[in-house]
Every structure is written in C-alpha cells, then in structure tokens.
Amino acid sequence: ILGQFITKKYLGIRKALILNCILTPLLTGAQILYPEAWFLIICRILLGLTMGLFWPNCLNLLSKWQKVSTHEKSKKNFALFNFSWNSGFIIGLLIGFLWAFSWSDYFAMIVSCLLSFLLIPVSFFIQKETKPEISKEIIIYQSEDPLSHLDIKEDLVINSNTPMIVYPVLFSWVSIMFLAISKSIFIFGYPILVKALLSEEFSSLTYLVQCGIQFMQLLGLTLINSMKVYRRKIASLIGIFVVILVASTIFLVGDILYISIVTALVGLFLGLIHGVGMKIMLEYGTAENSSKYSTINEILVGIGFGLTPIIAGYVVEVYLYGIYLFLTFLGLLILISLIIISRNVKRGNLNNKK
C-alpha cells in the first residue's frame, strides 16, 4: 500500500521501478552480510515496500494497455507478461539448483545477490510513462445487457476488451487469496517434509520442485488466456478441487516421491486459479480506469504469502501434515463460496464472449 502511495504522490511509475531495482539487491545483500534477527525483520519489511513499488505498477500498466488495445493484443500482452515473470522464476530456480547441488545454498545465495545488481543499470532503460493514444479501432459492444442476469451493482460498460467483468469482483479476490495461501503452503511445506522424511542432504530438491510448480503454473496461465469466459469459471473451480485433492492425499499417503511429483504438478491448477483471478482483476481496472483493483490484488497476495508461513511454522511443530489438513478444509469452503458467488455466470449468457 505504501509503495503505491509513494508512486502516485512522489515518484511516478518509472522512478518507482528504478528505485525497486536499486533497493532489492541492496536489501538482499544486507541480509547475507548481517543475518541478525532484528535486522532481517527490518530488511524484509523494506523488501515489502519494494514489492509495492513493482507489482501493483506492473499490473496497473497492463490494465491501462488493455484499455487501448484490441482483444487479440490484450491477450498477447497478458501472455507475454506471464511468460516473462514465470520464466525468471524457472531459470533462477534451475540455476539455483545447479549451484546448490554443486556447492552450497549459501554460495548460490551470494552469487544470485551479486547478479541482481545488474538490475540497476538495466532499470534506467525504462522509458518515461506517456499517455498512449486511444485505439481508433471499433469496439464491438454486446447487443444484450450482460449484467441483467448478475448480482453486480457497478455501473460498468462491458465490451470486447472487458468480458470478464460479468464475474463479481469478489470471485477474483477470493481466488487470489486462496491461490496465495495454497501456493505458500506447498512451497513452505515441501522442504520441511524433505527434511523430516529424508534428510537435509536432499534440500536441493526444493529448487526442482519449485521450478516444476512455476513451469506448470505458466502452462495453467497460458491455458486460461486461450479459454472462453464461461470455461474459465469451470477451470478455476476444477483447479481448486484438485488443490483440495492433492492436499488431502499428501497427509494420507506420506510418501516423499509422491509428494514431490504432485507438488510440482499442482502448479498447473494454481495457474488456472491465478489466471482467472488476475483476468477479472485486470478487466475491472480497465473498465473503471482505476488502479485500486491491482492494489487490492497485491494486498491479498501479501497477506496470503506473508502470514501463511508464520502460522504454518507453528502448525508443523504440532503436527507435520497439519497445514495440508487445514488447506483441505479451507479449499472446500472456498470452492463452495465461489460456486455460490458465480452462480449467475452461466454458459447460455456467455455463448459469444471470448
């Protein structure tokens, strides 16, 4: 929130992104040099500020460009955006695995920190934000009132660029929160299970499994981008159901090989959930010409990724598989909630929307 306020009030998007690229490697390196608990907490809080300078601005820009782009161009922008940030994770995790396997986790962390300083000169090539010209292409509006069958109060115009606002925005917020919590549990829980069921010598497997999650998530996001509006609802609900299924079988089976495989594969279904939630959020921002939806999105992501590991840390002290049991019951509640929230988003009303 503070990052967005500083961006709007003082910096602008270009300077905010440059500041993010400077602070991120400095704060990361500082944690390596002085790993005291109080100092680490301060650095992590400041890193949260840098995330506020980066992610909401990226999503807001994507939403703005969608407003002045054709439907096909918007899909391409969404695909390229997802490919870029997921590829960064995938490449980083693969290289991290090789370094950690060959040397040590600490060495891998030092080298990655040094490489991150390359962000500083690269950031200065970001062009100053300009007001893009409004597209002169004809926007085809729907012939029937798309909100007539929905419980939506907003006075929004749905056109070929914003078909996803037929979904209540609450669908996006609940989906994004569940995504953050579930992904955080899978990422946090796997290395603990490796340590408990194998030994610390196999900790480098974490890089490969997390890489698998990101790769499969990219596939899920790509699939969502190519689906029609109604099918995205079904894909999101299927994604949540599979997350529930995976979480429940992890504490029932308890085999590390099985856990490794399903944890990596669950990324595909996290991608389906993420893709639908992000599509709705972006198109509400486009329709209202507002950054509040991208800001709320990052707040929910921050809460999900920030609080979950803290709570999970206490839970695993009591019962190793407790976090997966919690995720199973939470997933059931979320699945029922989203079915109710989206009950008016029906195939018959969306036949011609893409």
Q: Which H or E run includes 211?
A: helix 205-226
Q: Which residue has the higher pLDDT, 284 or 62?
A: 284
Predicted pLDDT of residue 152:
43
With a CB cutoff of 8 Å and minimum separation 6, the contacts of 181 are 304, 308, 327, 330
The whole-chain average pLDDT of the chain stands at 79
Task: Give the number of other Cβ atoms within 10 Å of residue 341's Cβ.
Answer: 19
* Tokens (6 digits) for 317: 């002290």
**Cα distances (angstroms) measured from residue 87 to each of 70, 170, 216, 276:** 25, 29, 11, 20
Report the candidate in 128, 127, 119 with the shortest Cα–Cα distance to residue 20: 119
What is the reported pTM?
0.79
Residue 159 in contact with residue 227, Cβ under 8 Å? no
DSSP conformation letters of 69-118: S-HHHHHHHHHHHHHHHHHHHHHHHHHHHHHHHHS-HHHHHHHHHHHHTT
Mean pLDDT, residues 290-301 taken together: 82
Categorise residue 254: left if φ over 0, alpha if ψ from -120 to 50, beta otherwise.
Answer: left
DSSP conformation letters of 260-321: HHHHHHHHHHHHHHHHHHHHHHHHHHHHHT-SHHHHHHHHHHHHHHHHHHHHHHHHHHH-TT
Residue 232 in contact with residue 309, Cβ under 8 Å? no
Distance from C-alpha of 331 to C-alpha of 239, rounded to nearest angstrom: 10
Predicted pLDDT of residue 332:
96
Which domains are assigned to the chain?
Answer: 2-124+159-343 (1.20.1250.20)
Report the candidate in 185, 267, 236 with the shortest Cα–Cα distance to residue 338: 236
| Burial of 35 per CB tally in 10 Å (0-12, 13-18, 19+) | exposed
Q: Which residue has the higher pLDDT, 5 or 327?
A: 327
Mean pLDDT, residues 31-51 taken together: 80
With a CB cutoff of 8 Å and minimum separation 6, the contacts of 347 are 230
For 204-257, write each residue's pLDDT tens digit: 788 889 889 999 999 999 999 888 888 999 999 999 999 999 999 998 888 889
Predicted pLDDT of residue 146:
40
Predicted pLDDT of residue 137:
42
